[in-house]
Amino acid sequence: QVQLVESGGGSVEAGGSLRLSCLASGYLPGSKCMGWFRQPPGKAREGVATIYPPGNITYYADSVKGRFTISQEDAKNTVYLEMVDLKPEDTAMYYCAADSAPVFCSYAVVTPTTDLGQGTQVTVSS
């Protein structure tokens, strides 16, 4: 059974930084694509970034390119989302996700086979 546990959320001022972590279990490191999604208050969930083998290929939503960095540490089965220059519009619940579907890996789209964590709240004040 896949389990994804996020941590690292919090409240920061605009321009600040946070690093989210996701500890994964229940599958072999590198056997699935990993990603981060977010759901702002009152809005739909959206894909933020994915990372997948081979060679740790990454995908980023246009809204976070240049500010967010996804990475993974296979030895710890952990995925990170480094966020800098945070903006109030980045305020959302952030979810870690895992899947092997090509559309998830390449475009951060949730599928029926996507596993999602419980989420961690990020709040950015102006």
* Contact predicate 34/52, CB 8 Å: yes
* Contact predicate 51/99, CB 8 Å: no
Helix (H, G, I), strand (E, B) or coil at 95: strand
Residue 15 is encoded by which pair of tokens?
Answer: 């321009």
Separation between Cα atoms, residue 42 and residue 123, nearest integer Å: 14
Question: Residues for the chain: how many in total?
Answer: 126
Q: What per-residue confidence (pLDDT) applies to 1? A: 82
| β-bridge pairing 78-83 and 18-25 | antiparallel
Query: Phi/psi at 105 (nearest 5 deg)?
Result: -60, -45
Dump pLDDT digits (tens) for 54-107.
Answer: 778 999 999 999 999 999 998 888 999 999 999 999 999 999 999 999 999 999
Mean pLDDT of the chain: 94
Q: What per-residue confidence (pLDDT) applies to 109? A: 96
pLDDT at 31 over 90: no
